[in-house]
Structure 1
Amino acid sequence: MSASAVNAGSLVTLQELNPNSPNFKPGGAFRVTGKLQEYTLETAVAVIIDGDASLKVDTQHLKLDLRPGSLYQFIGELDIEPTNEVIGIYGHLSNDIVHIGILASSAITKTIPWLVFFFQAILKARVGRNVDGLDMNLYHQSLRLLREFQAAQISSWTA
């Protein structure tokens, strides 16, 4: 495969794209599916959801009529950036000392290094399509079965 070849995108659920997941890495190519919760025309950023998980999708390179409430599937590369806002305040007690901090962005932590910050992920979509009519429960079940089959095939090759 040449260096300029485009990756097809690993099939993942939105729940699998979280900071604790091995999939959560910048530049990773993914195929995700979810219901369009919101879309901002000015920024071309969509938010898709699946259960309690959500993901921002940059759609600036797509010619797609996006309708909130419809199901969409996107293929693209994951971009991970620090957030640019204060998220909240935390506190804890250790050795009789109260530690209080602000959950904030990296822009703030550059001036106050002890602050904690979070990252936000955005999928830079290169392909998108409407998949209304897709049964998400059946989709998740088929994804689970596909992974079980692939694991069985890999284990039979190594045996």
Structure 2
Amino acid sequence: MRLLSRWLHKADVWHFNRRYVSRAALIGLFCAFIPLPMQMVIAGIACIFVRANLPLSIVFVWITNPLTIAPIFYACYRLGAFILDIQAVDYSSQINWEWFQAQFHQIVEPLFLGSFIVGTFASALGYTVIDLLWRRHTVKRWHNRKKRSAKTSK
């Protein structure tokens, strides 16, 4: 933790502006779809190097939480299997650790491909939407300020 403390004290990872928040969405949403443990750590390290808002990035990672992780990664797996044009593994049997170990070699490639595609799409969409909404809000505030200024000068 001492290794990261000097990076966590930098103001860059705490800034709350359009660029840093958009980058946080990009990093957090991409990392949310990485089918590996330690998604928050990966997002945190990426925030340090890319200069993005660290807390928001962690919030975006939690899109895949204990309630949503199974359906999200199943959808990613199905997408990957569809793109690779392979038969999806039958889940009609009891799913447990032994079953997963036996099927791992058939699951891993489509899961990672589907997760990469969905993560790339979600992160690009999140970055774009937040950037556009932030710009829209800023322009609207600027116009309102201009209107108030014009009214008071009359």
Establish whether TM, by shorter chain, passes 0.5.
no
> Which structure's residues are more often helix, by fraction?
2
Normalising by structure 2, we get a TM-score of 0.29
Higher relative contact order at CA 8 Å, sep ≥6: structure 1 or structure 2?
2
TM-score between both structures, scaled by the size of structure 1? 0.28
Computing the radius of gyration from Cα coordinates, the structure with the larger value is 2
